Amino acid sequence: MLITIDPTSEASLFDQIAASVRMNMATGLARPGARLPSARDVAASLDVNLHTVLRAYQILRDEGLVDMRRGRGAVVTDAAAHLHELHSELKALVAKAQVMGLGPDALASLVRDVAAED
Amino acid sequence: MNTHDAVVRRFLVVAVAIPVVVVAVSVALQLTWWGELPDQVATHWNAAGEPDAFGSASTMLISTVVLGLLMPAATVAVTLPSLRRGVRGIIFRFLGAFSAWMAVFGAVLSLLLTEQQRGIADGAHAPNPGVAILAALGAGLIVGLCAWLYQPHQEGAAPHTFTATDTVLSGEQRGAWVSTAAMSKNFKLVLLANALALAAVAVLVWVTSGMATGLIIVGAMVLLIVVTSAMVAFTVRIDARGVSVVSAVGFPRLHVPLSEIESVGTTTVNSLADFGGFGIRMVPGGTGVVLRNGEALQVVRTTGRRFVVTMDNAETAAALLNTYVQRAAHA
């Protein structure tokens, strides 16, 4: 699993870590049943506060993407498989938009607008 | 005839044909002496050369087959699939010769031990086995040497190695790679077979030679299980500090700091040809954490030594590590 953050970004570090883990689920690097690295290890590797990582893991737990069990750590749930299924469709969508001259930011705002319609 | 055929064909001759033929001849000869043997033949001797364990003549026949064919069969099972796929290396030539030597040693030893007991009334009067053991060792050595010379030279193909040029981080980004490198199912089966074989030997020795020797082998078995269970799974961690590989049980831990890394890439590993087996392997020119065949991360240290870890998605892991190596070089 590859977790990346950008300290110069405006987004909070815990949101970035959560987004990065989510991306690993989408690409298939983190499959259902896989254990997330310990928050302590991630904090040491990325040189961030332990609570930042724990908060990121809590976000993922609230989304149902990981299961937190005492003694077993954070485990990727079956819900992550749906993200992986979505990934290929998202890639196709991004590619199609690119052909039409629509960048990822414009596409993302379109997606938000469509979601707001319902 | 091209060399590819010769390597496999001659390996089969020394590792399969020779063991089968010598064991068959040994068994056939022992069968012709059946009527001349005592009811209870000596099957084991103490250090002074006096017989101390006895069995029926069939015990000797069974041990001829087991001693002569078990090791060659195990060797062929492990090596032949790789050889057939076209993997080459000096280890295969050695294992072929080793099979021939094991089979000849086992077949000749039991043949001579049986021959010495023809015509005696009681196995308790069996002569000292020293000469038979030396003769069997000598015969095994000669045949093993011939088997080595008979096989063509094998040069391992250069592995498909790529040096990472990709970088995955931009600007101020930081990244951490964490993954599990686990042993393949085949390797686990080999480990299990090893443990079971050793357990069987322990029971056999316990029954035939007493508790003290049995306990030594049980001790060896426990040690083997402890050592190998530490090799089943490792956590691979890559970050700004370098790469670390830690066993799932916490030990052993290997670490290559960023400052000691010259370049990073991926390679393809054949455990036998490249590292002579699996687990943590030290070979001339490098160290490998070898848990399966195939894709691996390869780090070249500033000393020129390689550090190789078999793992999935090695390309992405290599790209991250390369990013940090490049950053350090330009800092």
Global ipTM? 0.82
Instruction: Kindly tell me if the per-residue pLDDT of B134 is higher than 90.
Output: yes
The torsion angles phi and psi of B295, rounded to 5 degrees, stand at: -50, 135
Confirm or reject contact between B250 and chain A (CB < 8 A): no
The dihedral region occupied by B287, where left means phi > 0, alpha psi between -120 and 50, and beta the remainder, is beta
Contact residues on chain A for B241, CB-CB shorter than 8 A: 45
Q: Using one digit for the tens of pLDDT, what is the confidence trace for B36-75? A: 999 888 888 888 888 888 888 888 888 888 878 888 888 8
Q: Say how far apart CA B121 and CA B41 lie, in whole Å.
A: 9
Of B274, B271, B237, the residue nearest B253 (C-alpha): B237
The shortest CB-CB distance from B174 to any of A4, A29, A35 is to A4
At B162 the pLDDT is 80
Contact residues on chain B for A1, CB-CB shorter than 8 A: 177-179
Lowest mean pLDDT among B201-210, B271-280, B319-328: B201-210
CB–CB contact A4 B173 (8 Å): yes
Lowest mean pLDDT among A30-39, B43-52, B254-263: B43-52
B154 and B96 Cβ atoms separated by less than 8 Å: no
Specify the higher pLDDT residue, B205 or A99: A99
Contact residues on chain B for A3, CB-CB shorter than 8 A: 175-178
The shortest CB-CB distance from B173 to any of A5, A34, A37 is to A5
CB–CB contact B173 A46 (8 Å): no
Structure tokens at B118: 């023809």
The shortest CB-CB distance from A1 to any of B171, B179, B239 is to B179
CB–CB contact B175 A4 (8 Å): yes
Lowest mean pLDDT among A106-110, B218-222, B231-235: B218-222
Which long-range contacts (C-beta less than 8 Å, at least 24 apart) are formed by B307-314? B307/B243, B307/B254, B307/B256, B308/B267, B308/B269, B308/B274, B308/B275, B309/B181, B309/B234, B309/B236, B309/B243, B309/B245, B310/B181, B310/B269, B310/B271, B311/B179, B311/B181, B311/B236, B312/B179, B312/B181, B313/A29, B313/B179, B314/B266
Tell me what the mean pLDDT of segment B252-274 comes to.
92
Chain B nearest-CA distance from A19, in A, is: 13
At B159 the pLDDT is 67
At B301 the pLDDT is 95
> B174, B238, B258, B320: best mutation site toward chain A, by most A Cβ within 10 Å?
B174
Per-residue pLDDT band for A48 (boundaries 50, 70, 90) equals very high
CB–CB contact B174 A2 (8 Å): no
How does the average pLDDT of chain B come out, rounded? 87
Structure tokens at B221: 């078995």
Instruction: Kindly tell me if the per-residue pLDDT of A19 is higher than 90.
Output: yes
Is the alpha carbon torsion for B209, B211, B213, B217 positive or negative?
A: positive
Report the share of chain B in percent with pLDDT over 90: 45
